[in-house]
Amino acid sequence: MTSTTTKTSRVLTALQEGQELTAKQIAARFNVGNPGSVVASLRSSGYAVHLNTRTDTKGRMTNKYRLGTPTRSVVAAGYKAISAGLVA
């Protein structure tokens, strides 16, 4: 019996393992046509996916996604929106 996992869940698993991935890596490794939509889906599901700019020793800049933790102010704003009835 084989288990089926979605592309989004495989990206999430990689991020939860501490991997930092570029959009090209997400597209190639997980066969995703639009990495931005996968990240947007994770964010809308409540995961704090950050995009950080990294500079290597040769001065080249790359943007990498990583899974982080939301700040206290973001969590507080979420609870405030829920208590005000703005979010179901």
Domains of the chain: 7-83 (1.10.10)
pLDDT band at 1 (very low <50, low <70, confident <90, very high): very low
- Choose among 72, 51, 74, 73: nearest CA to 63: 51
Paired with 49 in beta bridges are: 67
pLDDT digits (tens, 9 = 90+) for 3-20: 557 999 999 999 999 999
Q: How far apart are CA 44 and CA 3, in angstroms?
A: 25
- The stretch 15-39 carries a mean pLDDT of 95
**Which CA distances in Å does 82 have to 11, 17, 45, 47, 75?**
28, 30, 15, 17, 11
Give tens-digit pLDDT for 44-85: 888 999 999 989 899 999 999 999 988 888 888 888 888 888
